[in-house]
Amino acid sequence: MKAILLNLSAWIMLPIMDGFAKYLSSSIPILQITWSRYFFTVLIAFPIMFFFFKKDLKWTQQPKLQIIRGLLLFCANILFFYSISIISLAKALTLAFIAPLIVTILSPILLNEKVGLRRWVAVIIGFIGSLIVLRPGFVEISLASIAALGTGFLYGIYLIVTRKLHNSDHPLLTLLLTGVVGAIIGSMIMPAVWVKPTLTEWYMMFAIGFFASIGHLLLILSLKYADASKLAPFGYFEIITNIIIGYYFFNHFPDNWTFVGLFVIILSGVYIFKREASKLPV
């Protein structure tokens, strides 16, 4: 029960980060918002880890994979923050939910895992779900929708890299190094895009980093009490917080087709998680 509560708490925190990012996107460049997410995450997470989890801060055994992981998440954040600057939070997140499908598609190549017929069917069904949300031919497909799909694609590869790091590096170290990679890359870009924030915007940029760091810490703590495969389906709870924020603050509510597509994608994703938990290839 403790694992579930920690996990659900994380999925309440992380959409709040997205809400602040969407609000800021009308006045602050997307790259600057992304930089703030990493810069303040490191600023908050490092003291917490240093004082409470110092024994876990050992140097990584796979620095190249850590850098790749950081790059993947940094680029995924840019795409997602861009997408929510134009389309609703719920639609962007629904399209990004293709990540588990991407993991299934690429795991035979990158992880040498066997994927059976039933999981391939689940991938196809999940893809149909994304088509229901996009409705190509009926609704004009925007660059923001493609960016949201791109977020899911990059996040899927990010999850595969995370699996590879699971047995070598402590999750807290991985969290910190991912933040450091993003903060360094973002800081190198900032002189070219920087817009001076107001005091309120500084608070919101800090809040993005705060909710990102607390959300990910809660996710890591939840994994102390339950396996990742058992907790993974609870990640879809994020859409509930997402819809509430989108409706209350931005007057966006998903249409019926988005709900149908969301249901199909979640159904296929949960099935894939269940098959992985059972260690069966079908």
- List Cβ neighbours of 139 (8 Å cut-off, separation of 6 or more): none
Q: What is the pLDDT of residue 52?
A: 66
pLDDT band at 207 (very low <50, low <70, confident <90, very high): very high
**String of DSSP letters for 104-128:** HHHHHHHS-----HHHHHHHHHHHH
Structure tokens at 118: 């039933």
Residues 132-139 have a mean pLDDT of: 71
**String of DSSP letters for 151-194:** HHHHHHHHHHHHHHHHTTS-HHHHHHHHHHHHHHHHHHHHHHH-
CA-based nearest residue to 7, from 238, 244, 276: 238
Domain-embedded: residue 154: yes
Domain-embedded: residue 156: yes
| Separation between Cα atoms, residue 225 and residue 42, nearest integer Å | 25
Q: What is the pLDDT of residue 80?
A: 95
pLDDT band at 53 (very low <50, low <70, confident <90, very high): low
The pLDDT mean for the chain works out to 85
Residues 24-29 have a mean pLDDT of: 95
Q: What is the pLDDT of residue 45?
A: 83
Which residue has better confidence, 9 or 58? Answer: 9
Residue 181 and residue 67 in contact, taking contact as beta carbons nearer than 8 Å:
yes
| Separation between Cα atoms, residue 240 and residue 140, nearest integer Å | 26
- List Cβ neighbours of 149 (8 Å cut-off, separation of 6 or more): 95, 96, 98, 130
Q: How many domains does the chain have?
A: 1
For residue 230, the enclosing domain spans 2-277
Domain-embedded: residue 282: no
Q: What is the pLDDT of residue 282?
A: 44
Domain-embedded: residue 19: yes
Q: What is the pLDDT of residue 197?
A: 95
Tell me how far apart the terminal alpha carbons of the chain are, to the nearest angstrom: 29
Q: How many CB atoms lie within 10 A of CB 133?
A: 26
Domain-embedded: residue 108: yes
Lowest pLDDT segment from 115-129, 205-219, 224-238: 224-238
Which residue has better confidence, 150 or 231? Answer: 150
Residues 141-148 have a mean pLDDT of: 89
pLDDT at 140 over 80: no
